[in-house]
Amino acid sequence: MQEGIMELMWRTSHMSGGNAHYVEALYEQYLLDPNEVPDEWRNYFDKLPRPEGSPSHDIPLSPIREQFYQLARNRRNGQAADGVESGESRKQVKVLQLINAYRFRGHQKADIDPLGLRNPVPVPDLDLSFHQLSQADMDTEFQTGSFFLGKDRAPLKEIYEALNQTYCRSIGCEFMHIVDTEEKRWLQQRFESVRSQPKFSDEVRKHTLERLTAAEGLESYLASKYPGTKRFGLEGGENFIPMMDEIIQRTGGYGAKETVIGMAHRGRLNLLVNILGKSPSELIEEFDGKKVIEKGSGDVKYHQGFSSNVMTPGGEMHLALAFNPSHLEIVSPVVEGSVRARQDRREDVDGDKVLPVNVHGDAAFAGQGVVMETFQMSQTRAYRTGGTLHIVINNQVGFTTSHPEDTRSTEYCTDIAKMVQAPIFHVNGDDADAVLHATQVAVDYRQQFHKDVVIDMVCYRRRGHNEADEPSGTQPMMYSKIKKHKSARELYASRLIEDGVLDEEAVKEMVEKYRDDLQAGNHVADALVKEPNTGLFVDWSPYIGHEWTGDADTSIDMKRMQKLAARMCDIPDGIQVQRQVAKIYEDRRKMHAGGMALNWGFAETLAYATLLDQGHAVRLTGQDSGRGTFSHRHAVVHNQKDGTTYVPLEHIRDGQPRFTIHDSFLSEEAVLAFEYGYATTMPNALIIWEAQFGDFFNGAQVVVDQFISSGESKWARLCGLTLLLPHGYEGQGPEHSSARLERFLQLCAEQNMQVCVPTTPAQIFHLLRRQVIRPIRKPLIVMSPKSLLRHKEAVSSLEELAEGRFEMVLADKGKLEAEKVTRVVLCSGKVYYDLVAYRSDKERDDTAVVRIEQLYPFPKDELFDALKGYSNLEQIVWCQEEPLNQGAWYQSQHHLRVVADMLSNGLGRELKFAGRPASAAPAAGYMSVHIEQQRQLVEDAFNA
Q: Which candidate, 122, 3, 117, places its Cα nearest to that of 59?
A: 3
In this predicted structure, the answer to whether residue 294 has a pLDDT above a threshold of 80 is: no
Q: Region 605-629: what's the mean pLDDT?
A: 97
What is the reported pTM? 0.90
Q: Region 328-347: what's the mean pLDDT?
A: 96
Q: Which candidate, 343, 328, 418, places its Cα nearest to that of 376?
A: 418
The residue ranking higher by pLDDT, 399 or 395, is 395
pLDDT of residue 7: 44
pLDDT of residue 905: 65
Q: What is the pLDDT of residues 837-885, one digit of tens each?
A: 999 999 999 999 999 999 999 999 999 999 999 999 999 999 999 999 9
Q: Where are the domains of the chain?
A: 202-533, 558-803, 811-943
pLDDT of residue 50: 55
The residue ranking higher by pLDDT, 27 or 17, is 27
pLDDT of residue 907: 67
Please indicate whether the domains covering 202-533 and 811-943 agree at the CATH topology level.
yes
Q: Does domain 202-533 have CATH number 1.10.1280.10?
A: no
pLDDT of residue 85: 45
Q: Region 201-225: what's the mean pLDDT?
A: 95
In this predicted structure, the answer to whether residue 834 has a pLDDT above a threshold of 60 is: yes
**Confidence band of 60 (pLDDT split at 50, 70, 90):** very low
Q: Which of 91-95, 117-121, 473-477, 878-882 has the lowest mean pLDDT?
A: 117-121
Q: How far apart are CA 358 and CA 863, in angstroms?
A: 47
In this predicted structure, the answer to whether residue 58 has a pLDDT above a threshold of 90 is: no
3-state SS, residue 658: coil
Half-sphere exposure of 881 (CA within 13 A, CB side): 26
CATH number, domain 811-943 = 3.40.50.11610
Q: What is the pLDDT of residues 349-363, one digit of tens each?
A: 999 999 999 999 999
Q: Are 873 and 825 in contact (CB under 8 A)?
A: no
pLDDT of residue 71: 52
Residues 770, 776, 780: CA angle, nearest 5 degrees: 60
pLDDT of residue 80: 46
pLDDT of residue 87: 38
Which residues share a beta bridge with 528?
310
Tally of CB atoms within 10 A around 40:
10
Q: What are phi and psi of 700, to 5 degrees?
A: -130, 30
**% pLDDT > 90, the chain:** 78
**Confidence band of 86 (pLDDT split at 50, 70, 90):** very low
Q: What is the pLDDT of residues 552-592, one digit of tens each?
A: 999 999 999 999 999 999 999 999 999 999 999 999 999 99
For the chain, how long is the longest CA-to-CA vector? 110
pLDDT of residue 55: 36
pLDDT of residue 888: 98
**% pLDDT > 70, the chain:** 92
The residue ranking higher by pLDDT, 253 or 464, is 253
Q: What is the pLDDT of residues 762-790, one digit of tens each?
A: 999 999 999 999 999 999 999 999 999 99
In this predicted structure, the answer to whether residue 453 has a pLDDT above a threshold of 70 is: yes
754-756, strands of its sheet edge to edge: 659-663, 618-622, 686-690, 722-726, 780-784, 754-756, 854-856
Q: Region 812-821: what's the mean pLDDT?
A: 92
pLDDT of residue 404: 83
Q: How far apart are CA 100 and CA 94, in angstroms?
A: 10
Q: Would you mind telling me the total number of residues written for the chain in this entry? A: 944
Q: What is the pLDDT of residues 519-530, one digit of tens each?
A: 988 889 988 998
171-174, strands of its sheet edge to edge: 171-174, 424-428, 453-458, 389-394, 354-361, 258-263, 315-321, 306-312
In this predicted structure, the answer to whether residue 129 has a pLDDT above a threshold of 60 is: yes
pLDDT of residue 405: 85
- Looking at every residue in the chain, the average pLDDT score rounds to 91
pLDDT of residue 74: 52
pLDDT of residue 526: 85
In this predicted structure, the answer to whether residue 120 has a pLDDT above a threshold of 90 is: no
pLDDT of residue 19: 61
In this predicted structure, the answer to whether residue 288 has a pLDDT above a threshold of 80 is: no
In this predicted structure, the answer to whether residue 5 has a pLDDT above a threshold of 60 is: no
Q: How far apart are CA 132 and CA 750, in angstroms?
A: 74
CATH number, domain 558-803 = 3.40.50.12470
Q: Which of 67-71, 167-171, 932-936 has the lowest mean pLDDT?
A: 67-71
In this predicted structure, the answer to whether residue 468 has a pLDDT above a threshold of 70 is: yes
Q: Are 850 and 809 in contact (CB under 8 A)?
A: yes
